[in-house]
Amino acid sequence: MSINFPLFLVLATLVTGLIWLFDNLVLRPRRRAAAALLESQAGAASEAIEQAQQAVLKEPVVVEYAISFFPVLFAVLILRSFLIEPFQIPTGSMIPTLLVGDFIVVNKYAYGVRLPVIGTKIIDVDKPANGDVMVFVPPHEDEYFIKRVIGIPGDTIRYEDKIVFINGVEQPQTFVARMPPDRPDYEVYAETIGGVEHLIHRSPFPGNGPQEWVVPDGMYFMMGDNRDRSSDSRYWGMVAEEDIVGKAFAVWFHWDSGMPLFSRRGWIE
> Domain ranges in the chain?
5-82, 89-267
113-115-117-118 Cα dihedral, nearest 10 degrees: -100
Asked if pLDDT for residue 266 goes beyond 90, the answer is yes
Q: Has 127 been annotated as catalytic?
A: no
Quote the CA–CA distance of 118 and 174 in Å, as a whole number. Answer: 42
Distance CA 35, CA 54 (A): 8
Q: Looking at the chain, how many residues does it have?
A: 269
Quote the pLDDT of residue 125: 86
pLDDT value at position 107?
94
pLDDT at residue number 3: 54
Average pLDDT (146-152) is 98
Among 2, 58, 81, 93, which one carries the catalytic annotation?
Answer: 93
| Catalytic, out of 108, 147, 230, 233 | 147
Residue 253, strand partner residues: 103
Residue 266: alpha-carbon gap to chain centroid: 18
pLDDT in tens, 67-78: 898 988 888 888
Pick 22 or 121 by higher pLDDT: 22
Ordered DSSP codes for 17-37: HHHHHHIIIIIHHHHHHHHHH
Q: Which of 52-56, 59-63, 183-187, 220-224 has the lowest mean pLDDT?
A: 52-56
Lowest mean pLDDT among 59-73, 192-206, 209-223, 226-240: 59-73
**Cα 188 to Cα 209: distance, rounded to the nearest angstrom:** 21
Q: How confident is the model at residue 45 (pLDDT cuts 50, 70, 90)?
A: low
Residues 6+ apart with CB under 8 A from 25: none
- Say if residue 1's pLDDT is above 50: no
The string of pLDDT tens digits covering residues 156-197 is 999 999 999 999 999 999 999 999 988 899 999 999 999 999
Active site (annotated) includes residue 93? yes
- Using CA atoms, how far residue 248 sits from 87, 128, 183, 244, in Å, is 9, 11, 34, 11
Q: What is d(CA 119, CA 126) in angstroms, rounded to the nearest whole number?
A: 16
Fold for 89-267, please state it: Umud Fragment, subunit A (2.10.109)
pLDDT of residue 174: 97
Alpha helices in 108-261 (DSSP H): 233-236
Smallest CA-to-CA distance from 133 within 118, 145, 121 is with 145
Q: How confident is the model at residue 116 (pLDDT cuts 50, 70, 90)?
A: confident
Q: 59 and 23 in contact (C-beta within 8 Å)?
A: yes
Burial class (CB in 10 A: 0-12, 13-18, 19+), 179: middle
Kindly list the distances between the CA atom of residue 133 and the CA atoms of 26, 45, 182, 188, 246, in Å, as whole numbers in the listed order: 49, 68, 32, 19, 9
Quick check: pTM over 0.75?
yes
